[in-house]
Chain A
Amino acid sequence: MHSFGYRGNALLTFAVTILAFMCAIASFSDNFSNQTPSAQIQILNINWFQKQPHGNDEVSLTLNITADLQSLFTWNTKQVFAFVAAEYKTSKNSLNQVSLWDAIIPEKEHAKFWIQISNKYRFIDQGYNLRGKDFNLTLHWHVMPKTGKMFADKIVMSGYRLPDAYR
């Protein structure tokens, strides 16, 4: 501690170490938050349902997505990434997940929303298995922290079914 440089270095190193501890504590405190998200998805319309020239089925849907993800936000949350995936089983794959829509929610105020859109990403099957297919629509979310561990979870909504014939 005999010179400016020595003291400045010691102070800076210790300050950064303490900062690391503070960030670890902030991340750990996320485990104590009570999270009660809710969501509902309605398929308003099957816009069209075709077999593409390559032989794969494609369907276009209009979705009505209602969600309340406000309880996911803590003091240590930077943003929440949410996406809707259609999940179904075929003889070729035991689980198919096709992402239909996603959004980045930067603030708690924007986390309670109602949106009606056609699917943002194309719903194309690996094959032509979609006629009469039962599928789940799952809302996944990733809570991205300012520091520390990212949490991810989902709500599975089942009971959706595609028509038996192309239209």
Chain B
Amino acid sequence: MDWQGQKVVEQLMQILLVISGVVAVVVGYATESFRTMMLIYAGGVVLATLVTVPNWPFYNRHPLEWLDPSEAEKHPKPQVVAKKRFSKK
């Protein structure tokens, strides 16, 4: 998942869970049924899981652009010069 996708996924997860929580409480209170509230919320959690946890393709619309290998060869990595370490007396 690319960065943009990760940001979208986080927001989507929070919104879906909050909305299903609010709807669950309102409908449960209106129908005087605790069970209804729990069922609606459980459904909301399952929906949020299906939407946000798997790596769907639409979360990868802004892929990272890695450096091309031929370009990388033109700019070699700097060599680390081995320094002499003075030991403590």
Which B residues are CB-close (under 8 A) to A46?
none
If the complex has contacts A11-B48, A22-B21, are A75 and B29 also in contact, measured as CB distance less than 8 A? yes
- Residue total for A at the interface (Cβ-Cβ under 8 A): 20
A20 to chain B, nearest CB (A): 10
| Prevailing SS type, chain B contact patch | helix
Complex contact A75–B28 (CB within 8 A): yes
If the complex has contacts A7-B9, A75-B33, A146-B34, are A14 and B14 also in contact, measured as CB distance less than 8 A? yes
Complex contact B13–A14 (CB within 8 A): yes
**Interface flags, B1-17, vs A, CB<8A=1, else 0:** 10000110110011001
A29: CB under 8 A from chain B?
Answer: yes
If the complex has contacts A1-B9, A7-B13, A11-B17, are A26 and B48 also in contact, measured as CB distance less than 8 A? no
Complex contact A19–B41 (CB within 8 A): yes
B87 to chain A, nearest CB (A): 43
- Residue total for B at the interface (Cβ-Cβ under 8 A): 27
Supplied contacts A7-B9, A26-B34, A75-B32, 19 more A-B pairs, CB within 8 Å: A1-B6, A2-B1, A4-B53, A4-B54, A8-B49, A10-B10, A10-B13, A11-B13, A11-B45, A11-B48, A14-B14, A14-B17, A15-B45, A18-B17, A19-B41, A22-B25, A26-B25, A75-B33, A76-B34
Between-chain CB contacts (< 8 Å), 7 pairs: A1-B7, A4-B55, A8-B53, A26-B25, A26-B28, A75-B28, A75-B33
